[in-house]
Chains A and B, each alone.
Chain A
Amino acid sequence: NAGVTQTPKFQVLKTGQSMTLQCAQDMNHNSMYWYRQDPGMGLRLIYYSASEGTTDKGEVPNGYNVSRLNKREFSLRLESAAPSQTSVYFCASSEAVVGYGYTFGSGTRLTVV
């Protein structure tokens, strides 16, 4: 039971570098999400994908892009990393059903120096 798998688990970037965070789920869920978690600020939604082929902005989309590659995979790209993007990033998936709840990955800890 892999659930939601995120790679990499840790990453250090220099300001201005780019990278892609990968997320894959094996539960055949329709919806996928990217959150960032910062101390004292809880979880903030960056982007989500209600179903394969669709993506929408969340609360804090600036500086990020996403791709819903297929039903299983949803990637998050930082085109030009900034220190303000230092955070822990979580991917989650769910059925597009009210009250279903999310399954989370174990996170990617990103440091931008």
Chain B
Amino acid sequence: AQSVTQLGSHVSVSEGALVLLRCNYSSSVPPYLFWYVQYPNQGLQLLLKYTSAATLVKGINGFEAEFKKSETSFHLTKPSAHMRDAAEYFCAVTGGSSYKLIFGSGTRLLVRP
């Protein structure tokens, strides 16, 4: 079975500060990993995904994530937060013969002026 754990249901940063959102996964097969973003009153949008190519994945809006197999992690980072980054972020995993995504419980990012 696969699972995802997102550490911290809420993260607060100042504008211009580093954003770090944590995601740890469990998978008995090589995983595919995703980060989605949900802005208020909207659906989820794909930020980036890892599909076993480069371990450092760059996404939209300046976000990137690094796949670390030894740590079973796929943390999302952005060097400098903007007010527009305030949203909820979901990590998801799939792999093996399953194409259904398993989602984490989400992390709400608050950006302080």
Contacts and interface: CB of A to CB of B under 8 A. Distances in A.
Interface residues of B, number: 25
Given A90-B44, A107-B42, A102 B105 contact: no
Contact of B99 (A42, A43, A94): A94
Contacts of B49: 99, 101
Contacts of A103: 46
Given A104-B44, A106-B43, A41 B99 contact: no
Contacts of B100: 33, 45, 48
A96 B94 CA distance: 12
Given A104-B45, A107-B43, A98 B105 contact: no
A107 B40 CA distance: 11
Interface residues of A, number: 25
B34 A101 contact: yes
Contacts of B44: 43, 90, 92, 102, 104
Nearest to A45: B100
A63 to B, nearest CB: 21
B20 interface: no
B97 A98 contact: yes
Interface of A: 4, 31, 33, 40-43, 45, 48, 90, 92, 94-107
